A and B are shown apart, each in its own frame.
Chain A
Amino acid sequence: MAGLILLVSACFEYNPNQIILDSDEKDLTVKNLQKIQAEEAPEDTMRFIFMGDTQRFYDESDDFVNKANSVKGLSFVIHGGDISDFGLSQEYKWVNKIMSKLYVPYLTVVGNHDLLANGRKVYKKMYGESNYSFEYGNYKFIMINTNSREYDFNGKIPDLNWLQNEIEDNPNDLNIIVVSHVPPFDGDFDPELEHDYADLLATHPKVVLSLHAHTHSFLDKEYYNDGIRYFVTTAMLHRGFSLIKLWDNGLEIEQMEF
């Protein structure tokens, strides 16, 4: 009977902007983090995939999952944002269904398209907070919302105070990777905060990498010549993603195609 009700309710849609999620489509950040941290981090090299901009490219995203599942030894996958294209819960659901076929859990940062229409509320309900951090192995990952244009460049996005606290709150002296959708050198990042962001990362010796998506192309360089490596991964549309290998005192990023 419950199955029938579920089947019937799936036949009806009340508004494109409705936010109706199944219980296994809620609080995925917390749930997936629990799954990730239930597994011991590898002692030598940790591997994860960084990809982004699934948007409305489901065929490509599905192919990505097949390819990603052939990569051995992954601990998790990070989606660099623009999960959806139009901010609709239906899109979030389709992408989650695809990403749930990965053999490891996935985490996300929020992208500008994810904040459109009711997307902001959908992200919160489906994933959770848009700024969060977690530790795994010898690394601390700081996930932050940098979609300044979606907040009309109000000076509060990205929240650099929060970022600074997260970087400084590092009692185990872990290496730090900061992950966000819009890179600081992009026009959609608050220009008033660009150099504060870069300086914040550069002045903390444990920060090793700044990861981004959004531009739909690969970029890998010390953008500000300050010792911080900035890496941007391409979009699903262009059938590319990145394999990141981390060890105690180094890392390697491989650009992959599918």
Chain B
Amino acid sequence: MKYIFYLILFILPATTFGQTSERPWYVPDHYKLQFAGNIGFLSAGAGYLHGHDKLETDFMVGYLPKSIGGDDIISITLKSTYSPWKIKTNSDYSIVPFSIGPYLSYSFGSQFDTLLPNEYPDGYYWWATSLRFGAYIGGRVTRDLPGNINHVALYYELGTYDLEALSYLQNMDYLSVSDIFTLALGVKIGL
């Protein structure tokens, strides 16, 4: 949990800049805290808005404690979310009915390799055990706020990753789509 504390320390000064227009370019547009989704039991991170505010790119740091996941695993993730439509319900709330995005996640640990170690001939194992490429679809509900924090959103994502997707594609009799998709829930704080 210690790293989450450091992350909050990193985030806090940014929120004190207040108005959007006064923020230096490098200060993130939003922060996220996510539960599950194969990038940690909890992951926290920051991101930027671009592409006419329809594209978000986030950097997340995730943690899975041994007591929950059988092993302590820290991971870092780069994810992009494309949300083509936004529906305004009333003055305070809006809904993003559909989002889609890819992610690349790296898990730290001596048992995970990025390059094939020397004891193996070329191509012996074709994937990196430390890196997972995944994708998800999702949606969110946003509430606009007055003051320094511009809005707060709750989001969900249904995601899978390369190795599970491959397993499904080669076993469409035994496995079903629900076997490979799992749920993630998160909070986004927009500045």
Contact = CB atoms under 8 A, between A and B. Distances in A.
A59 B170 CA distance: 8
A40 to B, nearest CB: 34
A87 B109 CA distance: 15
Interface of A: 11-21, 56-59, 61-62, 85-91, 94, 98, 116-118, 120-121, 125, 149, 152-153
Interface string B50-78: 00000000000010100011110101000
A152 B119 contact: yes
Interface stretch (B3-11, B35-43, B80-88, B95-103): B35-43
B175 A58 contact: yes
B125 interface: yes
A15 B174 contact: no
A167 to B, nearest CB: 28
A20 B67 CA distance: 10
Contacts of A98: 174
B40, B117, B129, B175 — most chain A CB neighbours (10 Å): B129
Interface in B149-191: 161, 163-164, 166-167, 170-175, 179, 182-184
Given A120-B111, A149-B120, A91 B183 contact: no
Contacts of B17: none
Contacts of A12: 35-37, 182-184
Contacts of A152: 117, 119
B167 A14 contact: no
Contacts of B71: 17-19, 118, 121
Nearest to A122: B70
Report the 8 A-B pairs with minimum CB-CB distance, sorted nearest first: A19-B70, A12-B36, A18-B69, A58-B171, A58-B174, A117-B129, A13-B182, A152-B119
B119 A56 contact: no
A62 B174 contact: yes
A152 B113 CA distance: 14
Interface in B92-129: 107, 109, 111-112, 117, 119-120, 125, 127, 129
